[in-house]
Amino acid sequence: MKNVLFFTIYILFFAVLSSLIFSLLYMQFDEQPILALNKAIKYGAILLCAIFIVPTLKIKSLYNKQILGYLEPKSEFIHNIVKGFYLSLILLFPLLLLFNLTGIRNINTNIDIFNIYFLYSILFALFISFIISIIEESFFRGILIQKNKNRKVSLTINIVLFSSLIYSLFHFIKIPLIIEDEILWSTGLSELFDVFFNFHKLVLIDSAVTLLIFGIFLGVIRTYYNTISYGIGIHAGFVFTIKIYKQNSLVNFESDYNFLLSSYDHFTGHLATAWIATLLFIYIIYLYKKNRNNP
């Protein structure tokens, strides 16, 4: 619990620091304030965390690759990531099919797959998906769910649930669009604090539940295999598929089943929750039978 508190404070500190530093830097450019501040906070926080995360882990004596889920040799680790990625594409296909059958989202049939911009979008989505999955899995399933053979089952369940809850809520920490004509040195700080003070207004329950179930699914995989390699691959595959699908389909707001989609991102929601919960239930049954046959 002390480690969780430390890294929560750590991330908040660098988010605040990046808000201040990059707001000052972007004030020097003739870029629109809305785009400048949001890019400053988004990329600044990622940059500073990436620079300082490993030294901080070493200082706190927490930098143990095997404990954090980097269990296998590099070649096997990458192989498992690829396996998880392809598996996620298969697991998500029925959900995409359900979207199509219910008419919730309509696929653009005029897609030119040989268009250079379409190929660029594929490569960019692939790159972003792996960056996101590596960062998030390293923290939410690596740091928050550390390997411990002596830990009680009930405690492990609580840790998986807690890390999944934090993972779910994390997605709703977003800086809103700024409409002011001028960015001051304190603009980033004031907007960041405003987000946290009004956080309860930003959370959409239907989407949060989807993310919670998905976090539990990844947490169970991490706990069983003691590695985050499969989780990185599955997470990246989910993000990649969602990005490409959303780019090449439109929401049908006239559908009778539109309530099954969350207004948060028009992908998560009741239907996605039901499907991921089904996958989680099937996987838990599989693990139970496997452990019973091989005690």
* The pLDDT of residue 188 is above 80: no
* pLDDT of 26 above 50: no
**191-224 pLDDT, tens per residue?**
667 766 776 777 889 999 999 999 999 999 999 9
Question: What's the rounded Cα separation, in Å, for the pair 264 and 279?
Answer: 22
Asked whether the predicted pLDDT for residue 77 surpasses 50, the reply is: yes
CA atoms within 13 A on the CB side of 192: 22
The residue-averaged pLDDT of 153-160 equals: 82
Q: Out of 9-18, 148-157, 256-265, pick the least confident.
A: 9-18
Q: What is the pLDDT of residue 19?
A: 53
54-84 burial: b if 16+ Cβ within 10 Å, else e: eebbeeeeeeeeeebbbbbeeeebeebbeeb
Domain spans of the chain, in order of start: 66-180+199-293
Record the tokens describing residue 281, joined without a space.
């239930």
Whole-number Å distance between alpha carbons of 260 and 269: 6
Neighbours of 256 (CB within 10 A): 10
pTM of the model: 0.78
User: Where are any strands of DSSP class E within 186-265?
Assistant: 249-251
31 band by pLDDT with thresholds 50, 70 and 90: very low
pLDDT at 265: 86
Looking at residue 281, its pLDDT comes to 95
pLDDT digits (tens, 9 = 90+) for 168-177: 988 887 666 5
